[in-house]
Structure 1
Amino acid sequence: PGPLRPAPRTWCFWESGRGRFDAAVRSQWRHLRVRPPAGAAIEGDITPLRYKMIRSDDFEALVAHDLAHSPNVRRLEATVDTVEEAPSGPRVSMTRPDGTSDVIEARWVFDSRPLGSLPAARTTVLQHFHGWFVRTARPVFDRGTAELMDFRTPQPAHGLSFGYVLPTGPREALVEYTEFSPHVLTETGYEAALRHYAADVLALGDLEVLATETGLIPMTDAPLPQRVGASVFRIGAAGGATRPSTGYTFAGLQRQTRAVATALRQGRDPVPPAAHSVRSRTMDAVLLRALDSGRVDGPALFCRLFTRVPAARLLRFLDGRTNLIEDLAVGRHAPVGPMLRTAVELPRLPRRPFP
């Protein structure tokens, strides 16, 4: 509780069949749509996958219910001030909601707090977005299809932008404006971009804004180590769970936590694994550099991939669930020349701190 508590937010991911957190899923879709800046939309059926949306408050309620019925869990709410290694083990200093201080000594500490600054990287791009949960005066949304990337938005001078629409009913949806670029917008800038997308591109007409959400996700090829002490580990976005090329984090974090739980049960050191393979991170580093340098046109690249690669396979590729042969099959649909030049250049580039 207090000013450091983040506002409710939306997490999306894809999986097949029933999932561990289905009780917290608000909506799910098996059809995705990508729209180029001009021309016909690209639609794909992602069966057997489903694109699922979870709200953070629903997720918290589900997990809190499970923990409350576990005799092995004690939950404390406080602001973590410091995490230190001591001869007896990690010490977590914290401030409780009533202002009192406390210290916990632990065997293992998993620290998911956002990093104060990003490590040095060859490329860092910010994914930043602002969204409205809307209710329209008339039915305008296709309930069965999620609009994953709509490139009919004005493109920034450096980077790319797109609209994102997750319909939860014929008159209700989450409508977002997203940019991949070096700098965030002002509040006025986001509002103007979103108003333009809702009114001029989607032609939603009269609508009511029920809630808003804003987010910022660093997409970086910086190394993010999972182990930062003898018994202290970073986990989640701070521990590299975010996929650098997409910004999706939820699925990577679940892979880390499952591996940690398994290690604890087996009595092994519970080091969170890298959420994404070396091959995936290498491909992401090439893509980020190609986009950031302007060598590759982002909207054209994503539209080309969704046109030429079956949607379910492309999503598995974006989640790092494909093998080398499948990766090569997807990669041949990217602009080979610019990507190869970028791959050759990458090892020679210095890593610099992000401004």
Structure 2
Amino acid sequence: MPAADVVVVGAGLAGLTLAYHLCAPGASVPLSVVLVDAPPGPLRPPPRTWCFWEPPGGPYDTALAASWPRLRVRGADGTATVVRPAPHRYKMLRSDAFEELVERRLARAPALRRVRATVTAVRDAPDGGGEVLALDERGEPLVLRGRRVFDSRPPRRLPPARTTLLQHFMGWFVRTGRPVFDPATADLMDFRTPQPERGLSFGYVLPLSPYTALVEYTEFSRAALDTDGYLRALGHYTHDVLRLGEFRVTARERGVIPMTDGRFPRREGHSVFRIGTAGGATRPSTGYTFTAVQRQSRTVAARLRAGRDLRMPPPYGARPRAMDAVLLRALDSGRVDGAEFFARLFREVPGERLLRFLDGSTRLPEDLLIGLRTPVAPMLRTVAELPFRARRAPDPHEADPHRVDPPPPPTPPTGHEESTA
């Protein structure tokens, strides 16, 4: 089988996004692309939700579940700060709608080939380019070759780091018996939740209508909770804090996102590259990934389609990565109150500027002004301490983004409603 121009391993967010941009119409000579997707089973990611901010008119707007012109953050005492981050809107995209949109483009791409297989290894080929070793659906060995290979599979282990936390969460899509949600306002962080000794926790409410919303409980801490822990936290938040009354759960989601100042290699060889979370696209201080994946994929696809040399751009610059390392250490050490830290930022920094800061796209003068809105003494102490902290492999019993113990409760099929206490 002749080598393709590009082999993309994995059909999750990063793999599908790169294929989407590689197969955009208009190329005089389309690139030949092989997209390798895992067969049905545990290697396939479950349905999930991505949120991001951008102005109206984005490439995925037709597939959005909802978007909001206002964001609200509530302090631990219930004080609400509402920001209008115009021209941005906060957008919610469900993975099934995203996949349908991408599939429509890929179905019209003449030089794209889909392969369903279980990948066992990705490496440089002895005669140049890269190769993917896999087992097809019958269990037969399969070798796929490409001039360049992009591997989006989650990392088997997190890199050595000075600080490693997890952003872990469970969410319910709920339907209430009375109108309790404001469809124009998303609650980005609601700190009226019991706070862990180190790190932070918050509620997250994304209204879809006056009667329906995604309600999540989220923690930034060293270890994920078990299922009972999430159920207790969500029960407290929905009943005691939000006071939703009677409601039904129509679907569930659960996830674990690494938050680390470890260095994710973007290159695994001369012709093998890592993309997505495995390539460092997850913002260490927030867990947001979607926008960085889009930015990186557009750049890679544009260079390849133009026949230019490929330089894998870092998802974030050196200054945002340094600031993230300071914040992670400050949270993990307990030097700063995480709930007050973020609540103060939203109170005192204009919404549009703060979103650009969280996305790593602010300029140095803006970063300095925002830094003055943080607890200066604890942050400076952390800055002075970081160069002397060694990078160590995370404790596998704590910072393991793949461990979910016990298994999460099953998600009911779309349309089936299930009562909750």
TM-score range, shorter chain: over 0.9
Matching residue of 1:167: 207
Moved over 2 A (4+): 95-101, 268-272
Asked if 1:137 corresponds to 2:177, the answer is yes
Deviation per residue, 1:162-202 (Å, 9 max, x gap)? 00000000000000000000011011111111011001100
**Matching residue within 246, 256, 261 for 1:221:** 261
Per-residue deviation at 1:79? 1.8
Q: Contact 1:81–1:94 (CA<8 Å) still a contact in 2?
A: yes
Matching residue of 1:279: 319
Asked if 1:40 corresponds to 2:40, the answer is no
Distance of 1:24 and 1:347 partners within structure 2? 45
**Matching residue within 111, 115, 127 for 1:76:** 115
Q: Secondary structure at the match of 1:48?
A: coil
Per-residue deviation at 1:6? 1.3
**Matching residue within 9, 26, 29 for 2:68:** 29
Question: 1:136 corresponds to which letter in structure 2?
Answer: T
Per-residue deviation at 1:228? 1.1
Distance of 1:106 and 1:271 partners within structure 2? 17
Q: Contact 2:198–2:331 (CA<8 Å) still a contact in 1?
A: no
Asked if 1:182 corresponds to 2:222, the answer is yes
Matching residue of 1:126: 166
Question: 1:203 corresponds to which letter in structure 2?
Answer: R
Matching residue of 2:141: 101
Q: Which segment drifts farther, 141-150 or 69-78?
A: 69-78
Matching residue of 1:290: 330
Map 1:182-331 → 2, pairs under 5 A: 182-331=222-371
Q: Secondary structure at the match of 1:351?
A: coil
**Matching residue within 35, 38, 48 for 1:9:** 48
Per-residue deviation at 1:24? 1.6
Question: 2:306 corresponds to which letter in structure 1?
Answer: Q
**Matching residue within 103, 107, 116 for 1:64:** 103
Flag structure 2 segments of 5+ consecutive residues without an equivalent. 1-39, 396-421
Q: Secondary structure at the match of 2:124?
A: strand
Question: 1:105 corresponds to which letter in structure 2?
Answer: R
Flag structure 1 segments of 5+ consecutive residues without an equivalent. none
Deviation per residue, 1:35-86 (Å, 9 max, x gap)? 0010421111111101000011111111011100111211222221111222
Per-residue deviation at 1:263? 1.2
Deviation per residue, 1:103-137 (Å, 9 max, x gap)? 10111110011111111000011000000001111
Distance of 1:269 and 1:219 partners within structure 2? 31
Q: Contact 1:235–1:272 (CA<8 Å) still a contact in 2?
A: no
Question: 1:333 corresponds to which letter in structure 2?
Answer: R
Per-residue deviation at 1:20? 1.1
Per-residue deviation at 1:266? 2.5
Q: Contact 2:152–2:276 (CA<8 Å) still a contact in 1?
A: yes
Deviation per residue, 1:279-332 (Å, 9 max, x gap)? 000000001101110011100110110000011110011001111111111111
Distance of 1:61 and 1:52 partners within structure 2? 17
Asked if 1:87 corresponds to 2:126, the answer is yes
C-alpha RMSD of the superposition: 1.0
User: Identity of paired residues, percent?
Assistant: 60
**Matching residue within 153, 156, 181 for 1:113:** 153
Distance of 2:113 and 2:85 partners within structure 1? 40
Question: 1:229 corresponds to which letter in structure 2?
Answer: G
Distance of 1:344 and 1:266 partners within structure 2? 44
Q: Contact 2:78–2:192 (CA<8 Å) still a contact in 1?
A: no
What is the total number of aligned residue pairs between the two structures? 355
Q: Contact 1:95–1:102 (CA<8 Å) still a contact in 2?
A: yes
Q: Secondary structure at the match of 1:78?
A: strand
Per-residue deviation at 1:270? 2.7
